[in-house]
Amino acid sequence: MPIYEYETIVPGKGCEKCRKRFEVIQDINEAPLSKCPYCGNPVRKLVSWCRAAVVEVSVEATRVENKVKEYEREGMWSHAAELADSYSEKTKDSTLKTRALEDYKKAGYDLNSLG
């Protein structure tokens, strides 16, 4: 069942719950509350912000990630590093850049000499 948020209609009036917003689990077909169940003050249903995070990853990013993992599994550290490094430059992905540096180090490169 969905969770709905409510708040007082009159700012500054009502109990602690309805002045700050409160949640109610209701059936989707139930009528919205018109009064606070705690103090009886008039309330209104709010449009809730979606709190879910949906992250879409491009086909290219997935391909690069899988190829980097494959190179790492095979111990081909310089290949993994070069691919991760070039893709991180393109996408400005700092996590992938860090991974590239770690792979360069595993490949035996001096990190101080890398630009």
How much is the average pLDDT of 28-37?
92
Tens digit of each residue's pLDDT (9 = 90 or more) over 48-99: 666 666 778 889 999 999 999 999 999 999 999 999 999 999 999 999 999 9
Given this model, what pLDDT does residue 28 score?
86
pTM of the model: 0.52
Given this model, what pLDDT does residue 51 score?
64
Given this model, what pLDDT does residue 49 score?
67
Given this model, what pLDDT does residue 17 score?
87
Listed by start position, the domains of the chain span 3-45, 59-108
Q: Are 100 and 114 in contact (CB under 8 A)?
A: no
Given this model, what pLDDT does residue 45 score?
92
pLDDT(46) > 70: yes
How much is the average pLDDT of 11-19?
87
The mean pLDDT of the chain is 89
How far is C-alpha 20 from the chain's CA centre? 25
Q: Output the DSSP codes for 24-69.
A: EE--TTSPPPSB-TTT--BEEE-PPPP--------HHHHHHHHHHH
Residues 105 and 78: their CA atoms lie apart, in Å, by 9
